[in-house]
Amino acid sequence: MPPADISDKGSRDAWLDAAFNLLLESGVDSVKILPLAKRLNLSRTSFYWFFKDREALLNALIERWREKNTQGLVRQSEAYAENIVEAILNVFDCWLDPDIFDSQLEFAMRSWALQSNAVSREIDNADEARIDALTQMFVRHGFEPLAANVRGRTIYLTQIGYISMNSQESLVIRMQRIPSYVEIFTGQTPQQRDLQRFHARHAYMPD
């Protein structure tokens, strides 16, 4: 196992970050060892201190996506909430905070899946895990299993539609739509205090 950081070879995280950025910028075909070495101003052979081959690097990218986006969404769905409105707003944090859920990475991964059966299976597994987490969230707040699943699927597929279409919304527009989304997805109208807490988390000050 190589040291975590070697001054003349970079670090595993540095190589992975560079690969991550290339994936976002140009797709998986651009994620190759030589372009990464040039980007990092390191020798090509330095790569092999941290990864066996390109395939190992790509697997590490998949693992990073799995941890960031799937586990990020699952953690938000399991976060403490007094009611379903608060729970939904916890999940909505994913769509506004790329530190929790990276929509650009999700788009890149889904584009990659069009070229790779293995990545497509990863996407299918992630979709199933995420929808199940949202379903269980509704169940915990008193919804019947079928209704919980339909509501969870509706939330998730709506957001994946946003991502797949590369839809762009300003923060103002998105925040204006949040109360209606909450009401549609839960059947309950969010209280002003719920929205105020949500706005504060995202440093948003409504007019």
Cβ density class 188-197: b for 16+ within 10 Å, e for less: eebeeebbee
- Give the pLDDT band (50/70/90) at residue 176: very high
Residues 194-205 pLDDT 10s: 999 999 999 999
* Residue 30 one-letter amino acid: S
pTM greater than the 0.75 cutoff: yes
Residue with more model confidence, 3 or 126: 126
pLDDT at residue 7, as a whole number: 52
CA 164 to mean position of chain CA atoms: 13
The yes-or-no verdict on residue 1 having pLDDT over 50 is: no
The yes-or-no verdict on residue 127 having pLDDT over 90 is: yes
